[in-house]
Amino acid sequence: MNHASERAKGPDSGYRTAIKRVAVIGTGVIGASWVSLCLARGLDVTATDPAPGAENRLREMVARHWPVLEAIGLAPGASPERLTVASEPEEAAADADFVQENGPERLEIKRETFARLDAAAAPDVVLATSSSGLTPSAVQTACRFPGRVVLGHPFNPPHLVPLVEVLGGERTDEGAIAAAITFYESLGKRPIRLRRELVGHVANRLQAALWREAFHLVGSGAATVADIDAAIAHGPGLRWALMGPCLLNHLSGGPQGLAHTLDHLGPLMEAMWADLGDPRLTPELKQSLVRGLDEALAGRDLDAMVAERDRLLVDLVRQKRAVPDLL
C-alpha cells in the first residue's frame, strides 16, 4: 500500500482507534504472547520475525496459549487462522492499524526497525515498543513521524497479565498515547500512564527494589532462596495480587488510614530502609542463587508449574474483574 500522499500531510487528523489488524514485530516469548492475545480478541494479526524457524515456533506458541485463552473467553470470530506471517517488517506494517514491536533490547536495532516501520505504516498508525529498558525518546529519533511512537511495555505473559505501561517520548503526541491506551483497554488490559522516562519504567523498578533485598538476604546468609520465595508467595504477595502498596498501607491504618500508618510505622520503615542491602551480582552470589533455586525445584516438573501458574492467573484475573472497584 502506498501512503505517500498521507505522509506528505502527516498525521494531523489523529490516530486510529478502530483497530482491526495488528502488526507484531518480533515473535519471541513476548511477541508470541501479544499475537495470541490479539487473535483471541478477534483481530487479524500480521507477524514477522527474521529468526530461522520463527513461523513454526510462533504457531506452536499460539496453539499452546489457545486453551487458556478459550477458558478466559474468546471474542466473536477469534481464531488462530487469522494469523498471517510476513517476511519483512514493512510488509507487516503496511496494512496495520496498530504496530507492536518486540525486538532485541539494542538501541541500534530498535532505531533501524522503527525507521522501516515508520516508512511503511500509514502516518495515523501508532508504533509501540514493548521495550523493558529503552525509552521512546531514544527510539523515535529514527522516525519521520516521531509523534506516533509510544512505549507499550507489558508484563509477562502479556496474554494473561493485564498490566501494560504506556509512555510517550519527548516528541510523542498526546493523541498517540490516548490511542494506545484505548487499544490496550480494548484487549482487556489495564494500562497505566507513566509521566516521565525512567530506566526500567515503573513496575520493573518496583520489582528491582524487591530483588535487590531478596538477593542481599540470600547473599548474607539470612535466608535461603526457598525461604525468600515462600515469604513473598505466602505472605505479602497474596495481598499485592489484590491491591497496591499505597492502598494496603491505607487499609492497615484503620479509620485514620494512611496518615496513621505513616505516623505509627514510619520510624520502623526508615530504620529498615537504612539497613537494606546493596548487593552486587558477583559470581559467588549468582552461584548461591542458582544453587538455591535448583535445590528448591528438585524433582518438580517445570512445564506443569507453568501450566498451573497460568491456571491460577486466569482464575485470579477473572475474580478481580468481577470486583471492578478493587484497585
Three-state SS string over the chain comes to: CCCHHHHHHCCCCCCCCCCCEEEEECCCHHHHHHHHHHHHCCCEEEEECCCCCHHHHHHHHHHHHHHHHHHHCCCCCCCHHHEEECCCHHHHHHCCCEEEECCCCCHHHHHHHHHHHHHHCCCCCEEEECCCCCCHHHHHCCCCCHHHEEEEEECCCCCCCCEEEEEECCCCCHHHHHHHHHHHHHCCCEEEECCCCCCCCCHHHHHHHHHHHHHHHHHCCCCCHHHHHHHHHCCHHHHHCCCCHHHHHHHHCHHHHHHHHHHHHHHHHHHHHHHCCCCCCCHHHHHHHHHHHHHHHCCCCHHHHHHHHHHHHHHHHHHHHCCCCCC
pLDDT in tens, the chain (327 residues): 444 334 333 444 499 999 999 999 999 999 999 999 999 999 999 999 999 999 999 999 999 999 999 988 999 999 999 999 999 999 999 999 999 999 999 999 999 999 999 999 999 999 999 999 899 999 999 999 999 999 999 999 999 999 999 999 999 999 999 999 999 999 999 999 999 999 999 999 999 999 999 999 999 999 999 999 999 999 999 999 999 999 999 999 999 999 999 999 999 999 999 999 999 999 999 999 999 999 999 999 998 998 898 889 889 988 888 887 766
Whole-angstrom distance, CA of residue 151 vs CA of residue 130: 6
Cell triple for 23:
502488526
| Residue from 114, 126, 108 nearest 26 by CA | 114
Q: Which residue has the cell 515462600?
A: 230
Specify the pLDDT at position 3. Answer: 46
Instruction: Write down the pLDDT at residue 175.
Output: 97
What distance in Å separates the CA atoms of residue 15 and residue 264, rounded to the nearest whole number?
49
Whether residue 96 contacts residue 119, with contact meaning beta carbons closer than 8 Å, is answered with no
Are 4-193 and 203-242+280-321 equal in CATH topology? no
CA pair distance 118, 121, nearest whole angstrom: 6
Domain ranges of the chain: 4-193, 203-242+280-321
Distance CA 37, CA 73 (A): 11
Query: Cα 122–23–84 angle (5° rounding)?
Result: 120
255: burial class by Cβ within 10 Å (0-12, 13-18, 19+)?
A: exposed
The pLDDT, as a whole number, for residue 317 is: 86
Domain covering 203-242+280-321 assigned CATH 1.10.10.10 in the classification = no
How big is the CA angle at 28 (ends 24 and 23), to the nearest 5 degrees? 5
pLDDT for residue 4: 36
CATH number of 4-193: 3.40.50.720
**pTM for the structure as a whole:** 0.89
Per-residue confidence (pLDDT) for residue 11, from 0 to 100:
45
Q: Cell for 316?
A: 485470579
Residue 319, classified by CB atoms within 10 Å of its CB into exposed (0-12), middle (13-18) or buried (19+), is: exposed
Distance CA 171, CA 174 (A): 9
Q: Are 117 and 101 in contact (CB under 8 A)?
A: yes
